[in-house]
Amino acid sequence: MRWLLWLLLLTGLSSLPALAIELRLMTGDEQGTYYQIGQEIARETEKVGLSLQVLPSEGSWANIVALFNNDTEFAIFQLDAFLRAARNFYRNTTTNIHDEIKVVMPLFHEEIHVIKAKGSAVDFNKQEKFVVGCGFENSGSCISADGIAEFYGKEFTYVHESYEQDLADLKAGKLDLVIITSGKPYKLLAEQAGLDLVDLPQTSNAAEVYLYTTITPQDYAWLDRPVATYGVRSVLATMIQEQEGLADDLVGTVHFSILINEERLKKNGHPKWNEVLFRAYNDKVAHEAVLNSIGVCNVIRNYGYTCRALAR
């Protein structure tokens, strides 16, 4: 009957403020989707006595490193960054990273924005070499940029600055392209003018990790047509190890707090919540507490209630 005790913990923490627990959630830059999503998660966990300190960062790779360095308990990052980390980790240690980092919830797709200056003569299809800004080194955007270069046989020379500086340099003609991976609409880009996006031809090389999608004028007022690109799935993950007791309860509380508030998050939260796979999991990479959380939800549904009823 552990599921019953765990459910009582989830529903009872809010009445026991003395048991409030503080953890950290590493996200991204303060204008980005990760940061807003993180804040919205933290608002829900706060209601059950679990305080998540939402931390800005340089992006996906920094977040994975922060997990390994115990600088955070939870992090959001891109799947392509996770796969690169897995390859590096296995090559250097012969250890499977999935034994260390566990997925709490698959989130949304982030669109790869391949940006050029409006009216620029840069031709992505015909040129082979480009000077590219992608934010700080080892950011998720730079990891995606490496993928784009590989998929299309291009040679990218990188300049690593802030996105703000990258866009200024692009408009000044110092860069050919800026590549930013972020959930649309990305606030910084929405506030810009004098930009255009590059259409990316569909390629089977990208299909394993990336989703073919579009960015439209509804996303950015300065865009005059739909533009084809790729999106990469982001995930919420942790290095809190699977074990009986409080560790599993903490991870499960985070997951369950999101799960039972699906309706409210989709209605009032960031538009990207509408892409989140709230009940999805892969048992090879999911934290055991996630399976418990979904199991509790299923028990509640078997009694004729919805999990969201607890949120009300």
Domain that holds residue 35: 2-6+21-108+235-311
Domain shared by 251 and 219, yes or no:
no
Domain shared by 95 and 125, yes or no:
no
User: Which pLDDT does position 93 carry in this prediction?
Assistant: 60
Q: Do the domain assignments include residue 15?
A: no
pLDDT in tens, 98-126: 678 899 999 999 999 999 999 999 999 99
Domain shared by 25 and 45, yes or no:
yes
Q: Which of 204, 233, 262 is the last residue of a domain?
A: 233
Domain shared by 267 and 304, yes or no:
yes
Residue 21: strand pairing partners: 50
Domain shared by 156 and 300, yes or no:
no
Q: Is the pLDDT of residue 13 over 60?
A: no
User: Which pLDDT does position 138 carry in this prediction?
Assistant: 76
Q: Which of 218, 233, 248 is the last residue of a domain?
A: 233
Q: What six digits make up the tokens of 87?
A: 């390859």
- The domain total for the chain is 2
Q: What six digits make up the tokens of 152?
A: 């299309």
Full-model pTM: 0.80
Domain shared by 33 and 90, yes or no:
yes
pLDDT in tens, 251-304: 989 999 999 899 999 999 999 999 998 988 877 788 888 888 887 777 666 656
Domain shared by 185 and 279, yes or no:
no
Domain shared by 59 and 100, yes or no:
yes
Over residues 67-78, mean pLDDT: 93
| pLDDT more than 70, % of the chain | 84
Domain shared by 65 and 176, yes or no:
no
Band the pLDDT of 95: cuts 50, 70, 90: low
Q: Is the pLDDT of residue 17 over 80?
A: no
Q: Looking at residue 203, which CATH number applies to its domain?
A: 3.40.190.10
Q: Which of 233, 260, 288 is the last residue of a domain?
A: 233
Q: Do the domain assignments include residue 13?
A: no
User: Which pLDDT does position 249 carry in this prediction?
Assistant: 83
User: Which pLDDT does position 307 carry in this prediction?
Assistant: 67
Domain shared by 199 and 133, yes or no:
yes
Q: Compute the mean pLDDT over every residue in the chain, rounded to the nearest whole number.
A: 85
